Structure 1
Amino acid sequence: MSTSTGTTGPRVVLGVSGGIAAYKACELLRRLTESGHDVRVVPTAEALRFVGEPTWAALSGHPVRTAVFEDVAEVPHVRLGQDADLVLVAPATANTLAKAAAGLADDLLTNTLLTARCPVVFAPAMHTEMWEHPATRANVATLRARGALVVEPASGRLTGADTGKGRLPDPAELFEVARRVLARGDLPRDLAGRRVVVSAGGTREALDPVRFLGNRSSGLQGYALARTAAARGARVTLVAANVALPDPAGIGVVAVESAEDMRKAVLEAAQGPGGAADAVVMAAAVADFRPAGYRNSKIKKEPGAGPAPIALVQNPDILAELAARPRGGQVVVGFAAETDDVLANGRAKLARKGCDLLVVNRVGADLTFGRPDNEAVILAADGAAPTEVPRGAKEALADVVWDLVAARLAPPGGSCPEGARGPAAP
């Protein structure tokens, strides 16, 4: 479909409700339009008190409708939802969430939500007390049960001097959510109600206050896994080691540095105060070794003398420890970065680690680390044939991983499938 903006890309309705975070939706709109999306902005009357209609029209390239009775002959309250490939509400206030959950239709945005047959994403923004109120939590649960994706708000500075959970996620990350949902119009919600843990990045093992032993992992694959799981409905904890990436929208991030830090954070998240996570995916590059000792001051270069040898000791094997713990139906996935004999080394590692799935990929110069693409072979401990994933976007590999994980998850409250049991509880 050709539009006045000259785009033929996916058709997005950007709903904007009346909160101070409405100004951030301008940046989200810019990212959508500049990447070829055809965006129609539907602000509420309250939203226009924060950002005016001319701004939305200029950034979208379309006239802005705000009321059901504008241009009645075109039936906008029906057509906008019917024609959309995605409806994204950002920010979504507590009031808008309540109206959507109750099925109210007292303005153009709520009418559009009722007529939409495409994916619907809500990005809530409100004060912490409003987000945590039982009424809001119930409304969010209702919307998720109907198939909507409700992104968890971020934590940080709110209106005035207040801080806490309720901040609208970064527009760049909301754009990634929209792009991810649009990339798969049939995006499954097979992880709805599940809790998963993903590790990402590369650990650093300190030598002295200045130097460390590390690796080249960028965290891109782990972040793709976290975003994809969230888009499929999961509650995600991301344990990130030394990653220079913005926090993904709606995902709890635990920042760590060393392998010991990673071990503590992953094991705590995998068990969790509310019970064990349904799946743990160890995509981080965890250092196998660390210096035997730490120097409190910088190691100096001695004139005329060569460097002193650095003694190393082995780090804990987090993946093997996860797999060996009593875990019921928890599915554990490992990653193997190999430079040669990729498949043989992968099979040996799968047997040695005891995880349910192992994602094996070749690494090296200009391969995998820091790149937006990846390829892999996924091996399964239950005897299933290897799954080959051709080179493509890291989100594509992430989707295949979650497809395989979802197939091995026990039904809620049911018995776990064979091959995803782990040792029996004592």
Structure 2
Amino acid sequence: MRDRYVTQVWNSVARFAYTLLYTLLMPLIVARLWWRGRANPAYRQRIAERFGYLPHHPRAGGLWVHAVSVGETLAAAPLVKRFLEQNPDTPLIITTTTPTGSEQVKRLFGGRVFHMYLPYDLPVFIHRFLRTIRPAALVVMETELWPNLMACCEQRHIPVILANARLSEKSARGYAKFSALTQPMLQRLSMVAAQHQSDADRFLALGLPPERLAVTGSVKFDLTVAEGLNDKGAELRQQWGRERPVLALASSHPGEDEQVLDLWPEIHQAVPELLLLLIPRHPERFEAVGNAARSRQLKIQRRSQGPASEATQVYVADTMGEMLTLLAAADVVLMGGSLVELGGHNPIEPAALGKATLIGPNYMNFAAIVDAMAEDHALEVVSDLNQLATRLAYFLNDTEARQLMGERAQATVDNNRGAVQRLVDLIDPLLKH
């Protein structure tokens, strides 16, 4: 009993210290937001929402989904669409922390949901936010846990489910270093719906009660390819030159476009008609990516300024919300975030389109998915740049090899569907508690 009391006191002290430190850092946090607005002015808009002052006042009893940015919003999309279909009269609130996430919410759902930015993690802001939206339950996508958010939800008896939850070994080690904050957060969760058993085991090791754990699979496998999407891809190919091989670097980060551009001479020698499609992850990089290609004396075209022609060597996708259409027009896809130490991005999108997909060595954010796909020969992991150039040229030149990989990738996606409905089945009882 005494040990339990000491633990509770220590945990309370830890959250108080966290809150105090967060409060002291608020001027720097706001200054960083303003600084980011230099490259993306949207960061300087709707700032009041980050302090809990909201433009919308939804009816009480709705479902609140928190998705940090673009990736989490896309992951939440199948869940949100299914929930809206099955619960058309229940308000649905989506929060993000980035403007690109906000734009993605608007593009995907329009006026069918309420969108707001998540407030900073201080009790005064969180309570103000909760008094306004009065949700029946909160669904947090993946691993976006905040100590005061969890505590405030518990105080207001709002159940919280961590959905599509993933936890890499590196992240688990980081959480373990702050166990006085981590354990109370996990114990305040009503349910963790883990993507894979390996993720589940790490949550248990950090202190999650076993009865609050379910392994539901990844909702990203429930991706729906819109009708006519492949036709749109074919139209782009017609503009670019139907017979040209097209390599897409999807969701690239600083340093990755440059690495692939440096490989251009070698790949181009093996694939003379190649069109390189660069799709930066963030809009503030559009100009830099274009300049990187120009500095190498390559013939570039930006999508916002017109279609690529047969003379174009590098096509820069400087628009938002067109990822799947652009991937549908590619022959081979290289996943970004994996050539630098960022943990990689979701390979399920090109897989669902039947594309031959390669990924670099840094894919810890999707380790279970990538390893399973690689084992099925539905994706290939490349360990270094020399191997990358060789394997890209191989798949770009070998139609049969890339079609076979694409068929295996589609089969892997189809065989892993079903997580969305399993999540909806977990959420419904929480709304009626």
Q: TM-score, normalised by structure 2?
A: 0.30
Which has the higher Rg, Structure 1 or Structure 2?
A: 1
Q: Which has the higher strand share?
A: 1
Q: TM-score, normalised by structure 1?
A: 0.30
Tell me: higher relative CO, structure 1 or 2? Use CA pairs within 8 A at least 6 residues apart. Answer: 2
Q: Which has the higher helix share?
A: 2
